[in-house]
């Protein structure tokens, strides 16, 4: 069953202004995943391939996951807003609000051990906080019986290389992977 069929109740009530078939990207990954990653919204590459995190940010994320020994295919990967915002602008608060019930339904279905929120938008929404990602990344929070760890968005590590090792460290912590002490070549 396709994603839209699975959550048809949500899509039936979603106001038309928040949906666009040509810009829609569903979640990917097993519904019995132990870890869910929540991004912000899809970009052009994601729309083209119909999958979240397949552009530059996704490649960066895949590299880190590979380095710490985590299979991307074991993870359920989704976005706060499942429509690509025009001109790659940030998602607006009314868009986030309109799509939030779907994310809740996805989390009910997958019922993961931990949810990793990537970047400010997903973290602020899921933790209901105004605190920025820089002050809360890598900490484990409990919200409505769910464990949530905010981490830097992989796209942020492309602009600010100092965030790469921090994202890696937080992901290691979340996945219980110890650092071998070996420095990754790309961080040198």
Residues at the contact surface with ligand URA, assessed by CB under 6 A: 39-43, 46, 52-53, 55, 57-58, 79, 155
DSSP run (H or E) holding 64: helix 56-67
Nearest distance from C-beta of residue 49 to ligand URA, angstroms = 10
Nearer to ligand URA, 61 or 136 (CB): 61
Cα separation, 68 vs 179, in Å, equals 8
CB of 84 to ligand URA, least distance (A): 9
Give the dihedral of Cα atoms 2, 36, 98, 19; nearest 10 deg: -40
Q: How far is CA 127 from the centre of its chain?
A: 14
Q: Which residue is nearest to ligand URA (CB)?
A: 39
CB of 179 to ligand URA, least distance (A): 26
Closer to ligand URA by Cβ: residue 58 or 150: 58
Nearest in space to 174 (alpha carbons), one of 154, 148, 156: 148
Q: Of 127 and 181, which has the nearer Cβ to ligand URA? A: 127
CB 4 within 8 A of CB 82: no
């Amino acid at each position: 069953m396709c994603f839209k069929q699975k959550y048809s109740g949500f899509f039936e009530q979603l106001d038309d202004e928040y949906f666009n078939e040509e810009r829609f990207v569903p979640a990917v990954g097993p519904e019995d995943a132990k870890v869910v990653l929540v991004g912000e919204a899809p970009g052009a590459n994601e729309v083209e391939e119909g999958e979240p995190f397949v552009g530059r940010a996704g490649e960066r994320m895949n590299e880190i996951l590979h380095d710490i020994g985590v299979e991307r295919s074991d993870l359920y990967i989704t976005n706060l807003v499942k429509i690509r915002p025009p001109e790659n602008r940030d998602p607006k608060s009314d868009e986030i609000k309109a799509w939030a019930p779907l994310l809740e339904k996805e989390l009910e279905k997958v019922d993961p051990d931990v949810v990793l929120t990537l970047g400010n938008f997903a973290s602020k929404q899921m933790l209901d906080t105004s605190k920025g990602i820089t002050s809360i990344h890598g900490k484990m929070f409990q919200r409505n019986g769910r464990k949530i760890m905010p981490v830097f968005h992989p796209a942020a590590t492309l602009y600010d290389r100092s965030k790469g090792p921090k994202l890696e460290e937080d992901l290691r912590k979340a996945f219980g992977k110890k650092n071998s002490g070996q420095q990754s070549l790309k961080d040198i």
